Amino acid sequence: MSSRDEYMPGPAAGAEVRKEEETWTLVLLRELRHPPETVWKALTDPASLREWAPFDADRSLGAVGLVRLTTVGTLRHRQTMPLHPSEIYRMPT
C-alpha cells in the first residue's frame, strides 16, 4: 500500500462469526501461496504489518507481552498471546 491514508477495507469473504456465551470470535480462513515463514513475518513483523494492516505495532507480535497498536490515530494497548507459526493466532479485544 502506498499511503496509509488510502486504506479502505474490503469485504471479508468467507468470514464466519461464532458466539459462545459472551465470547464472540471472527474466523477468517485463507489459503496463501507463500511459504509459512513469509506469512509469519507478514503477521508479526512491524515493518511488514505496515504494508497491509490498518494499524502500526510498536514491536514484533511474535513474542508474548504488551504491544502498542495505533489505528488511524487511536492508541490501544493489547496483550499478545503465545504465538507459534503453525498455530491459530488470537488477539484479545
Give the mean pLDDT per block of 10 residues along the chain (93 residues).
57 80 81 86 90 86 84 63 58 51
Asked, for residue 26, whether it belongs to a domain, the answer is no
pLDDT value of residue 83: 58
pLDDT of residue 5: 61
Provide the whole-model pTM: 0.56
Asked whether residue 80 is assigned to any structural domain, the reply reads: yes
Residue 19 lies in a domain: no
User: Does 2 map to a domain?
Assistant: no
* Total number of domains constituting the chain: 1
Show the cell assigned to 43. Answer: 503477521
User: Which backbone phi and psi does 19 adopt, to 5 degrees?
Assistant: -130, 125
Range of the domain at 40: 35-93
User: Is the residue at 58 inside a domain?
Assistant: yes
Q: Cα–Cα distance between 3 and 31 in angstroms, integer?
A: 26
Residue 82, in any domain of the structure: yes
Is 13 contained in some domain? no
Contact (CB, 8 A) for 50 and 7: no
Q: Would you state the pLDDT for residue 27? A: 80
Nearest to residue 40, comparing CAs of 12, 66, 64, 62?
62
